[in-house]
Chain A
């Protein structure tokens, strides 16, 4: 394409074909997003999107302004000013209490060392906390306890009224990179290479106060922990886990109850190495290529954005079941699992890609699919893995990630996205824009619906016209004779008078 444009005349050769990144042509049957809406407002990189309720979301970024949008219409609802520096964390804080008129609040933390609580219904600032000694890097709401935690150099616990309930001692200068809620009133905080478990306990004097105590430090990671995700409870197994990923590509699965290491995956980026081999071998990789940027999970699998690739790690099998080593041209920044077995990833290269996790019979399908689907790496790895006899059965069930669509719109790194189900997908980017991707068919149908509703509304007038007509028609039938007689009579009278 580009070569055709520059050189002219020659048939376009897919430039991307040469790179190992899987590409999809312009024909994307399964890609539902055929309509887009560009939301302008931000003046700087947009880093965060957070869902407020079914049809609203907030966006925030380096310009320190928070915007509230309607995902259906793309309408800008509110523009919240209050922070003087870039936003570092944002969290929704909706009250479960029905009595509080269903208030939707959001918390935002900024580099100006403040946290502001906003009311999404009225678009006003509810309260502002500015007694922090450091920038708050993460915010977590513990719905169950109706408190929220801020993580900077220390962890603070706040209640809904923004009273400081308790705080930890100074932990680190680098700040807490991630906080996640664990069962039994526990919280895991990622501090550098360490993972610290805190427990919230009600204070002894019976007042509303809480105490926060450090329970355990986990030091299994070799490098800074970048991502932390709590995996949904396996309802059947009554098993609770959480997963951490580090800068050098270690992925560790922890038991959320006793905080022991359940499994670890340190080198799944390297196809030539068996998963169980020790992590020393990974040195050949540059750290950037292997850092676990983002983790997400459903009940069975953890989806990891590692470098440019996407990996699917099955918790039960304790192994990677599918991967796409170069899913994007550059680092994958955010990854999300959709209910319909689809995975969406966004990357620094400005594209958003939609993947589908598919099963396939390894033996029959592999020859055809290698190369074409770029699956050879994983296929080989699993072939080598068949030494373990107990895994043989599982190996027959292979998964692969197939690219079903890509969304190209942003001209710079796509920082994050928010999936709204059938309402569409919101993506935010370093090009200051937010794009709403929508299903064109659905939108068209909705517009038709609106159209006919509007017609029905205006129908009063038409009804009038119709009535007039019917009225006239009946009149015509019955009074025709009469009226013409009358005209005649009139005329005769006038003639006589004249």
Chain B
């Protein structure tokens, strides 16, 4: 909704006229980034043409102890997908970079084999020869029959687009972690089951052996042992040892640290959560576990009883045995869950990078608008918990990092060493023997990147570019050891180390955690926190920040000024810094319309902006932070402008002055996106939805957008009709043919703001007379016109309630509704628009509606626009101020005011509504004359 994806590909410099530059620039978060490779003269899709596969896919491979690395399955499960790509070879490659410190076996000093619960390792690989880049997620599953009880697996997301992998690393990592967690949970259960069975077998064997020995003992009274007897005794002893071993293993697998699962990051599958936790509970308490175990066994295995069988003394550890399949290794249920998850990952990340980015950015932005997004967005799509959590976590981390960065950068010493980065770089083991020197050098280099970030950046850049195009085709582009949870726990989070400069650069752009940029940061836009209060005013770049400064100083702020921090808090400030940051991020997440929210953002904002400027396509994280500042700025703007400050309300957000140029761009991109998509490696061009349900929504949008386009072209009186919808006056679409009416209602529904309830207040087809209650509930109604007496009643009712409705007659092509003389709708629905595609138009509409929403938000949440500043202030002056604000500050004319007022009213209603309470819908209306429009 914020930006149309099909615009992105067409942003080469020559397209941008000078006229564009003279206009007030869009905020960076909204602007369409320049294509970074435009200087190479290539289209963005050309460089990936060398890859041998047609689209992204997920590969699961195993390092089989029998045959070595082998691919197991691909997602999507289609031979065409991988094409000529050599899966075997690639499996070999990706399995050779397993960093898991998976050590299972007999550790020195321990009598029994020991299971290690290793973290998964996440690596990014590039194979420039094959043109394949992969995010590789290694994991270890347990198998009783396997060597060392472990079976190494890996899941890889393979794409031809290196940038996608690099920039979506966090997301990929989070999603794959979920899949892996699911797989491992199932595996642990299966493993425990297997152990139990084995124990029963052993027990049975022991009994049998014991009996045999006894029998032999009895039969043999010669006083000496036969070799047979000795053999039996040995066998018995070994069985007993093996029982103990297995019991120990069982205990170990049961004692898996479930606390990790309880962290909010890991709840991939809700239904299981309860079970797992119950599980965990029972297993953490070994004494009580027996009963629960029994129950659990039944629950998971549905095995009525297991008949133990005799185990041969020398179990054949050999190659003649067939190893368990992945499905057998995990519970079937968990296996299918994992597959589902993987399919969803594939769906989520497929498509071109720019789709992903725009999708993510707009979703992140929408989440920022917690207060307003219910108006025109399908909130159900935003309501998922998972991304929310992840996103929050990331945000927290991001803040953390950035904050620390700011701290570090601001300090004089150039040497910044973090424990984490040190550690992780040490763990970055060279993969290939013959490349060891180079790699280790590289990793050293990368260390030095973090160490001496500022000085030799350019040098490094030039130097290391060579290594990318070097003969060796596989490079480790990046690795991250720890899961996000780990990062939090360590006070000094591990910075991801990037041996390759390219990767490093991308990382910088994407996360802004690596501090390479600090020179630029310092030189271009100093963080405000650094500027002493006194200099602030005179500092040129502080102009933009003025509102904030004002907000800080002014007495107009809504909440009382917080007391200075206590002395004891200072004590462990440095330690708590990180935590506090996360906290504040959480607070913000929960309480979006905060007046003081921007305050928390101040520290980061300048850095953010810098980062945004530098690297054009950014994953949503930093965009959102930048935006966070920007959007967070609104309340502060408004807190001040309630008192009518002289400065202009930030026109960049509020004016739609670029609409014209935008729509012409749109047009171009409409026609070109076909070409570009043909060049694109990904087979389907549609914006990849981050949610499976999006598909239908997309189609709906496209259709509705197309219909709306047709409507505005066909009907010259589209503006007043749309105005009716936007200002909350019910529009009745009257017609004889149901299909026509339904189609029109669908098309117009994109202009209908949602009420307090989440469902769109749209009724597609009604045949009975309308009643007042209908207008209260529905804002867009399709009504049947019939010649029958009943039909006359319908019309009577309509004419009776005519003051509450606008009536669009599809049969005679007439419209009866109030006059509209504003400007917003004409931008929204220009019948000469060059937009041709429905989805593009939909986005155009959404962007303008978002502007309206932000205006409504400002209006609704400005304290002094609604309440007197002092107690003695008369009501009229408040009203005056309100109208002035609407007219001058928000630049609204005539009827546009009513639109914003209506939206603001909806916002208010939504905000003050108590959660559980439905709230009775109310009908607002005006006594305004209606006019009849004809074609």
B422, B529, B600, B796: the one within 8 Å of A2 (CB): B796
Q: A34-B927, A411-B797 are in contact. Are A461 and B577 (CB under 8 A)?
A: no
Rounded to whole angstroms, the CA-CA distance of A478 and B407 in the bound complex is: 11
Q: Is the CB of B573 closer than 8 A to any CB of chain A? A: yes
- Flag A1-16 by CB within 8 Å of B: 1 or 0 each: 1101110110110010
Q: A2-B795, A470-B562 are in contact. Are A454 and B407 (CB under 8 A)?
A: no
Rounded to whole angstroms, the CA-CA distance of A35 and B922 in the bound complex is: 7
Q: Which B residues lie within 8 Å of A498 (CB)? A: 422
Q: Which residues, 15 to 32 on A, are CB-close (under 8 Å) to B?
A: 15, 25-29, 31
Q: Is the CB of B79 closer than 8 A to any CB of chain A? A: no
Nearest-neighbour CB distance to chain A for B817, whole angstroms, equals: 11
- Please determine whether A34 and B926 come into contact, CB atoms closer than 8 angstroms: yes
Rounded to whole angstroms, the CA-CA distance of A495 and B237 in the bound complex is: 51
Q: Which A residues lie within 8 Å of B772 (CB)? A: 36, 38, 409-411, 433, 435
Q: Which residues, 409 to 433 on A, are CB-close (under 8 Å) to B?
A: 409-411, 433
Q: Is the CB of A479 closer than 8 A to any CB of chain B? A: yes
Rounded to whole angstroms, the CA-CA distance of A468 and B912 in the bound complex is: 27
Q: Is the CB of A341 closer than 8 A to any CB of chain B? A: no
Q: A5-B795, A37-B920, A462-B597 are in contact. Are A12 and B584 (CB under 8 A)?
A: no
Q: Is the CB of A397 closer than 8 A to any CB of chain B? A: no
Q: Which B residues lie within 8 Å of A495 (CB)? A: 417
Q: Which B residues lie within 8 Å of A448 (CB)? A: 860, 866-867, 908
Q: A448-B908, A474-B565, A491-B418 are in contact. Are A440 and B573 (CB under 8 A)?
A: no
Residue in B closest to A498 when the chains form the complex, CB atoms: B422
B413, B866, B926, B928: the one within 8 Å of A452 (CB): B866
Q: Is the CB of A466 closer than 8 A to any CB of chain B? A: yes
Nearest-neighbour CB distance to chain A for B934, whole angstroms, equals: 8
- Please determine whether B922 and A471 come into contact, CB atoms closer than 8 angstroms: no
- Please determine whether A26 and B800 come into contact, CB atoms closer than 8 angstroms: no
Q: Which A residues lie within 8 Å of B477 (CB)? A: none
- Please determine whether B866 and A449 come into contact, CB atoms closer than 8 angstroms: yes
Q: Is the CB of A340 closer than 8 A to any CB of chain B? A: no
Q: Is the CB of A160 closer than 8 A to any CB of chain B? A: no
Q: Which B residues lie within 8 Å of A409 (CB)? A: 772
Q: A467-B565, A484-B413, A491-B417 are in contact. Are A454 and B925 (CB under 8 A)?
A: no
Q: Which residues, 571 to 597 on B, are CB-close (under 8 Å) to A?
A: 573-574, 577, 580, 583-584, 587-588, 590-591, 593-597
Residue in A closest to B909 when the chains form the complex, CB atoms: A447
Rounded to whole angstroms, the CA-CA distance of A488 and B416 in the bound complex is: 7
Q: Is the CB of B932 closer than 8 A to any CB of chain A? A: yes
Q: Is the CB of A222 closer than 8 A to any CB of chain B? A: no
- Please determine whether B912 and A463 come into contact, CB atoms closer than 8 angstroms: no
Q: Is the CB of A201 closer than 8 A to any CB of chain B? A: no
- Please determine whether B573 and A475 come into contact, CB atoms closer than 8 angstroms: yes
- Of the candidate stretches B145-153, B154-162, B802-810, the one touching chain A is B802-810
Which of B588, B796, B920: most chain A CB closer than 10 A?
B920
Rounded to whole angstroms, the CA-CA distance of A220 and B922 in the bound complex is: 50
- Please determine whether A488 and B413 come into contact, CB atoms closer than 8 angstroms: yes
Nearest-neighbour CB distance to chain B for A494, whole angstroms, equals: 6
B564, B597, B599, B798: the one within 8 Å of A474 (CB): B564
Rounded to whole angstroms, the CA-CA distance of A411 and B559 in the bound complex is: 49
Q: Is the CB of A450 closer than 8 A to any CB of chain B? A: yes
- Please determine whether B603 and A476 come into contact, CB atoms closer than 8 angstroms: yes
Q: Which residues, 117 to 164 on A, are CB-close (under 8 Å) to B?
A: none
Rounded to whole angstroms, the CA-CA distance of A490 and B415 in the bound complex is: 12
Q: A34-B927, A455-B595, A468-B600 are in contact. Are A408 and B932 (CB under 8 A)?
A: no
- Please determine whether B597 and A476 come into contact, CB atoms closer than 8 angstroms: no
Residue in B closest to A490 when the chains form the complex, CB atoms: B419
Nearest-neighbour CB distance to chain B for A342, whole angstroms, equals: 16
Q: Which residues, 38 to 61 on A, are CB-close (under 8 Å) to B?
A: 38-40
Q: Which B residues lie within 8 Å of A5 (CB)? A: 734, 795, 798-799, 807, 809
Q: Is the CB of A202 closer than 8 A to any CB of chain B? A: no
Q: Is the CB of B924 closer than 8 A to any CB of chain A? A: yes
Rounded to whole angstroms, the CA-CA distance of A488 and B771 in the bound complex is: 74
Nearest-neighbour CB distance to chain A for B433, whole angstroms, equals: 25
- Please determine whether A462 and B596 come into contact, CB atoms closer than 8 angstroms: yes
Residue in A closest to B580 when the chains form the complex, CB atoms: A468
Q: Which B residues lie within 8 Å of A31 (CB)? A: 927
- Please determine whether A480 and B407 come into contact, CB atoms closer than 8 angstroms: yes
- Please determine whether A472 and B932 come into contact, CB atoms closer than 8 angstroms: no
Which of A29, A456, A468, A472: most chain B CB closer than 10 A?
A472
Q: A8-B812, A474-B565 are in contact. Are A29 and B419 (CB under 8 A)?
A: no
- Please determine whether B559 and A463 come into contact, CB atoms closer than 8 angstroms: yes
Q: Which residues, 274 to 306 on B, are CB-close (under 8 Å) to A?
A: none
Nearest-neighbour CB distance to chain A for B655, whole angstroms, equals: 26
Q: A465-B588, A480-B407 are in contact. Are A470 and B867 (CB under 8 A)?
A: no
- Please determine whether A479 and B417 come into contact, CB atoms closer than 8 angstroms: no
- Please determine whether B570 and A484 come into contact, CB atoms closer than 8 angstroms: no
Q: A26-B928, A27-B928, A465-B597 are in contact. Are A473 and B603 (CB under 8 A)?
A: yes
Q: Which A residues lie within 8 Å of B909 (CB)? A: 447
A9, A15, A488: the one within 8 Å of B415 (CB): A488
Rounded to whole angstroms, the CA-CA distance of A12 and B924 in the bound complex is: 25
- Please determine whether B565 and A470 come into contact, CB atoms closer than 8 angstroms: yes
Q: Which residues, 416 to 432 on B, are CB-close (under 8 Å) to A?
A: 416-419, 422
Q: A461-B591, A465-B596, A469-B603 are in contact. Are A8 and B814 (CB under 8 A)?
A: yes
- Please determine whether A480 and B802 come into contact, CB atoms closer than 8 angstroms: no
Which of A29, A459, A466, A477: most chain B CB closer than 10 A?
A466
Q: Is the CB of B923 closer than 8 A to any CB of chain A? A: yes
- Please determine whether A466 and B927 come into contact, CB atoms closer than 8 angstroms: no
Rounded to whole angstroms, the CA-CA distance of A236 and B588 in the bound complex is: 66
Nearest-neighbour CB distance to chain A for B288, whole angstroms, equals: 41
- Flag B671-706 by CB within 8 Å of A: 1 or 0 each: 000000000000000000000000000000000000
Q: Which B residues lie within 8 Å of A39 (CB)? A: 920
- Flag A96-113 by CB within 8 Å of B: 1 or 0 each: 000000000000000000
Nearest-neighbour CB distance to chain B for A75, whole angstroms, equals: 8
- Please determine whether A452 and B863 come into contact, CB atoms closer than 8 angstroms: yes
Q: Which A residues lie within 8 Å of B417 (CB)? A: 487-488, 490-492, 494-495
Q: Is the CB of A405 closer than 8 A to any CB of chain B? A: yes
Q: Which A residues lie within 8 Å of B403 (CB)? A: 472
Residue in B closest to A76 when the chains form the complex, CB atoms: B920
Q: Is the CB of B194 closer than 8 A to any CB of chain A? A: no
Residue in A closest to B773 when the chains form the complex, CB atoms: A38
Rounded to whole angstroms, the CA-CA distance of A473 and B527 in the bound complex is: 12
- Please determine whether B580 and A11 come into contact, CB atoms closer than 8 angstroms: no
- Please determine whether B594 and A465 come into contact, CB atoms closer than 8 angstroms: yes
Q: Which B residues lie within 8 Å of A488 (CB)? A: 413, 415, 417
Q: Which B residues lie within 8 Å of A466 (CB)? A: 559, 561-562, 596, 599-600
Which of A4, A73, A450, A477: most chain B CB closer than 10 A?
A4
Q: Is the CB of A232 closer than 8 A to any CB of chain B? A: no
Q: Which A residues lie within 8 Å of B332 (CB)? A: none
Q: Is the CB of B216 closer than 8 A to any CB of chain A? A: no
Q: Which A residues lie within 8 Å of B797 (CB)? A: 411
Q: Is the CB of B412 closer than 8 A to any CB of chain A? A: yes
- Please determine whether B564 and A470 come into contact, CB atoms closer than 8 angstroms: yes
> Which B residues fall within an 8 A CB radius of A?
403, 406-408, 410-413, 415-419, 422, 492, 529, 558-565, 569-570, 573-574, 577, 580, 583-584, 587-588, 590-591, 593-597, 599-600, 602-603, 734, 771-773, 776, 792, 795-803, 807, 809, 811-812, 814, 816, 860-861, 863, 866-867, 901, 905, 908-909, 911-912, 920, 922-930, 932, 934
Q: Which 7 A-B pairs have the closest CB atoms?
A: A491-B417, A484-B411, A448-B866, A471-B565, A28-B927, A8-B812, A2-B799
A-B contact sample (9 more), CB < 8 A, given A5-B795, A467-B563, A471-B573: A11-B932, A26-B802, A34-B925, A433-B772, A463-B560, A469-B600, A471-B569, A483-B577, A494-B422
15 inter-chain pairs at a CB distance below 8 angstroms, sorted by A residue, are A9-B934, A443-B922, A447-B908, A447-B912, A448-B908, A449-B866, A452-B558, A456-B558, A464-B584, A465-B587, A475-B565, A485-B411, A487-B417, A490-B419, A494-B419
